[in-house]
Amino acid sequence: MKKRVLCYGDSNTWGFNAMNENVYGQRFPEEVRWTGRLQTLLGANWTVIEEGLCGRTTVFEDPLREGVNGLQYLGPCLATHNPIDYLILMLGTNDCKARFSALPKNIADGLGRLIVKAKQACVWRDQPHILVIAPPPIRRENDNSEIGRDMGVCSEKSAMLSKEYRLWAEAEGCAFLDAASVAGMNDYDFMHMDDASHERLAEAIAEILKSDLLEKE
């Protein structure tokens, strides 16, 4: 029976291509996106499900974008893809936007609500298996750039998420990955991963999923 992995994230899960002005806003091909690479690495006995939405937050309502509150959609999303063997959560980049006025701990507590809600859902084939990923930090160059005007100054806050996310992961018995250990943001808008980072992230996730599920079987 195939194992089903749900990847719940934002534009860096959707595959936002921001490597230069000619492709800005387009989507990386399936074989380049980390979710597509993950499917290839895991093989035919796994089904990797993409649920990336540009602008998605952990729990915050965005006054400028409708439908991006990750907590509100998580329940229906989990139910849609039932049964689930593994859930991957990679959110928080958009929560760093200045308009939300959220501290790193506030953002992590938002992610914590997603973890708790997911664990309580009646969608698990066996028991909850969750991988919490702290996204690569927004680079400092974004803070005062023309392309980063929508975000505001948020690189320092973004860099502090990993520490807070790790605490939640440990408290809830989740696997944890600091994406900054294998991936980074691009040299154009400084807040989206480049193609090489998608590949390295997929490789790190594949290793975690395989070893974690084997240990729990």
At 36-91, the pLDDT tens digits run: 999 999 999 999 999 999 999 999 999 999 999 999 999 999 999 999 999 999 99
DSSP 90-138: E--TGGGSGGG---HHHHHHHHHHHHHHHHHSTTBSSS--EEEEEPPPP
Residue 76 CB contacts under 8 Å (≥ 6 apart), including other chains: none
Share of the chain above pLDDT 70, in %: 98
Q: Where are the beta strands (DSSP E) in the chain?
A: 3-9, 16-17, 26-27, 46-52, 86-90, 130-134, 175-178
Cα dist. 196→17, 35, 93 in Å? Answer: 12, 13, 19
| CB 101 within 8 Å of CB 137 | no
pTM comes to 0.96
Mean pLDDT, rounded, for 135-157: 92
Cα torsion angle, 27, 163, 141, 60, sign: positive
Least confident of 50-64, 99-113, 142-156: 142-156
Of the pLDDT bands very low, low, confident and very high (cuts 50, 70, 90), residue 125 is very high
CATH number of 3-216: 3.40.50.1110
